Structure 1
């Protein structure tokens, strides 16, 4: 049996060193930014408008919004409106693929989140592809993927021209990513941006950064069903270890609104506004504690942002 030192040397030789403290990442987004803000759970055009209004009011630059209910829970008109708003503002509009095990007739996903976003059977894979084709036809250029096989299929469809070559494929937090080797697998399967587990330390993030140059997505405030952490004071360390990184603003003590709809009234809009307020708190904190990180490049519609095409 090798010693611990020998084991760590072996993983390092394979390209995955064990880090005690991460070195500062020098990688950046295409516009030179070390980080961007993502507002999740933007479930439709009314929520998107509320988020944009709050961002303008608080002077927070939102780079990406993401949605959790899925393409199948939106009408064509709703998707088209979101795409138009994203194109006008230069914001990535990310939509989840709708079919998933947690909403299907099977029992395992009712007991554990580990398979909740999986595509249960090939018919569900086909339904995910249908969601992707429909969203792209309506101008969307960023999709949230929760299944490994679907990710690989969508990448193949990008390569053969069925889907747009510039389509962003964002992995879901429901598809566990906790280490460098797994990051490498997702990268090879076609991921464009990697949603990592919510509880990773800066050293863990540094190990993932050493394995891939893809952007990392990380909740700074974590929904209760994913751990409920609030990591605002770690923001500078996270950026230094993980850049380029999307800082995701979830909410503790907030209801699960998936699948969303008019039956929830104003709740999704107010949650969206509060997520922007949380981003403003992080922005202020960065300005005080790490001013060298607080300055961001001017908005430029960067090529690596999945801005809708309408």
Structure 2
């Protein structure tokens, strides 16, 4: 007979430790996030680093085999690394399974001519350097949305604000969602609130943020949060599997990102990395199954958003000032 989940969530090792005199204090209701997705759910799932149609097919096949619900898949190499036909194929496959497809926009500092990103200070980091890099991101955004992509991944605050204005103007569809990359993720509540006001519909925070920082963020912003449950090595390689239930409790509305540590870098992707791309795509889904199984064992697997839901709800934005003119 399968185990029946407890009626209320339990913490890892709770009963065994209590019997050994090592029980932990009760969780504080004040730490819990008061927010949720507009559909009432507290968490959704994302499989990152899905670099093309073949990788997407592998994810869909593995998700079906392992019964892993997927709300969003994202890509990291960039829109410009895909042909129109490849993007259209990914759009169709994602739509068929009611999954949001998120592709990365334009040039970023690590693949640019600026050497400062390779210094100890990291210089401008991953951001778009100069007008032409912003223009490249906008070009990517227009092209991708014309092909049916509904979510754009950004790694620059200026690009975020520009694309937010573009959807206000109808240059890209108004229901396009904008996702802030882990490459520039905010680490304090003030910065998180600024990203929301610049147009972010979900914000990837670094996976090393302590639980208390998630609570601080949720006191000032309801914008959906993305977090790697297992982070790639270049983002720290952190594995927070046993904290998933508490991450949801404090960080909701939260996208659980199923990343993969100890894996080779695949950006920018191509045929030369095909086997690695496919193998790591499948393993990311398996990691998702492990996280979901753990939630179920602890009776904490309730509150998932319905599959197919993607919009973030009403968020706070800076006012539109682009049509204002100087007065004498």
Which band: TM-score by shorter chain? 0.7 to 0.9
Corresponding residue number in structure 2 for 1:55: 63
User: Aligned pair in 2 of structure 1 residues 201, 22: CA closer, same or farther (>3 Å)?
Assistant: farther
Corresponding residue number in structure 2 for 1:10: none
Corresponding residue number in structure 1 for 2:309: 302
Residues in 2 aligned to 1:97 and 1:292: alpha-carbon distance in whole angstroms: 35
Contact 1:239 1:245 in 2 (8 A): yes
Partner-residue secondary structure (3-state), 1:170: strand
Contact 2:245 2:300 in 1 (8 A): no
Residues in 2 aligned to 1:226 and 1:303: alpha-carbon distance in whole angstroms: 25
Corresponding residue number in structure 2 for 1:74: 82
1:36-86 Cα offsets, whole Å, 9 max, x none, are 111110000100000010000000101111110000000000000111111
Residues in 2 aligned to 1:222 and 1:297: alpha-carbon distance in whole angstroms: 23
- Note the C-alpha offset of 1:22: 5.6
Could you list the runs of 5+ residues in structure 1 that have no partner in the other structure? Answer: 1-19
Matched residue count: 285
User: Aligned pair in 2 of structure 1 residues 101, 167: CA closer, same or farther (>3 Å)?
Assistant: same
Q: 1:250-289 to 2 correspondence within 5 Å?
A: 250-289=259-298
Structure possessing the higher radius of gyration over alpha carbons: 2
Corresponding residue number in structure 1 for 2:25: none
Moved over 4 A (4+): none
Contact 2:108 2:126 in 1 (8 A): yes
Instruction: Return the TM-score normalized by structure 2.
Output: 0.83
Partner-residue secondary structure (3-state), 2:44: strand
Asked whether 1:188 is paired with 2:197, we answer yes
Residues in 2 aligned to 1:234 and 1:292: alpha-carbon distance in whole angstroms: 11
Contact 2:71 2:100 in 1 (8 A): yes
Corresponding residue number in structure 2 for 1:45: 53
Corresponding residue number in structure 1 for 2:243: 234
